[in-house]
Amino acid sequence: MRTAFSFRQIAGKNSEFLPDQRLVFKGKTLELDQPKIMGILNITPDSFYQNSRIQHLDQLLNQANQMLEEGAHCLDLGAVSTRPGSGFVSLQEEADRLLEPLELLRNNFPDTWISVDTYRSQIAKQAIENGASMINDISGGTFDENMLPVVAKNNVPYVLMHILGTPETMHKQTLEANEVITKVKDFFAIQVDKLLSLGASQIILDPGFGFGKTLAANYKLFTGFETINPRNFPLLTGVSRKSMIRKVLNIEPENAINGTTILHTWALQQGATFLRVHDVNAAAECIKLWQYMKGVIQEEND
């Protein structure tokens, strides 16, 4: 007997991409009719996943090239670790770490979408001037009052993430599972309205897995993608090798790729547009299998 269900019931309402959904910036266009992969490039000495730390420029180019060959649609360059309890990095040190690698990526991969992971408006401004085509802000505009105006003035695609506290404090103050969806929804509503009122229009929402949330709350978030995103903005999911996987499985980051892929599959089913990952090939295979499953189920229901 054929099971009576639709792909929409499996995948969540937001899994059907809007046909005209795209990002546009400085002559580049990124169509969002299919899931996209954002490859993580950490130019930091203290990121939680040691194997992702890039120590020199040749390594950066090799890693970027490999990610693009494996199917990454954009690269996310970060110069400040945001792991729980990470230390303070000055504005000047962040700029010193970031700008030369950014220029190198821009010159070697001129057609590639390059995101810069920063919560400082001055760094965002310099990054945009030096080739960045997206800003990824873990604070959603709450750490620096000038961030949203800079984003709006340039109408640069902007990842607005939810966080409770700061990287220094977020492991001490956390949202519980019974409140996380409402709190994230309300945060997004406030910050999105600010951006829209300033004239920004290219907004990507990131629920902020691992940032000020209990273990159960992180998993509860997967059930609320539609609720936290009533305007159907693109959603970014960042769970790659995170502690929400490792704590359940009692493993180290080096062994967390299988758990990551499982959560990526669930994120796609719930409507994620972007997967922010350390392991591009695994994410690309995950998307390919998910899309094949989607096609089979759709054909079965037609």
The pLDDT tens digits of the residues spanning 190-226 come to 999 999 999 999 999 999 999 999 999 999 999 999 9
Give pLDDT, residue 85: 59
Cα–Cα dist 49/26, whole Å: 33
Give pLDDT, residue 170: 65
DSSP output for 103-164 = HHHHHH-TTSEEEEE-S-HHHHHHHHHTT--EEEETTTTSS-TTHHHHHHHHT--EEEE--S
Question: CA of 140: how far to CAs of 57, 211, 221, in Å?
Answer: 29, 12, 17
Of 194, 247, 276, 288, the catalytic one is 276
242 is catalytic: yes
Give pLDDT, residue 104: 94
Of 241, 242, 246, 247, the catalytic one is 242
13 is catalytic: no
Give pLDDT, residue 84: 64
pTM greater than 0.85? yes
Domain ranges of the chain: 33-301
Q: Determine the residue type at 191.
A: Q
The 3-state DSSP class for residue 74 equals strand
Top CATH class, 33-301: alpha beta
Can you say whether the dihedral through the CA atoms of 16, 28, 71, 63 is positive or negative?
negative
Give pLDDT, residue 36: 98
Each residue's pLDDT, cut to its tens digit, for the chain (302 residues) gives 222 322 333 344 444 444 458 999 999 999 999 999 999 998 877 555 455 567 788 889 999 999 999 999 999 999 887 766 556 789 999 999 999 999 999 999 999 999 999 999 999 999 999 999 999 999 999 999 999 999 999 999 999 999 997 776 666 779 999 999 999 999 999 999 999 999 999 999 999 999 999 999 999 999 999 999 999 999 999 999 999 999 999 999 999 999 999 999 999 999 999 999 999 999 999 999 999 999 988 888 87
Question: CA of 125: how far to CAs of 107, 130, 188, in Å?
Answer: 19, 9, 23
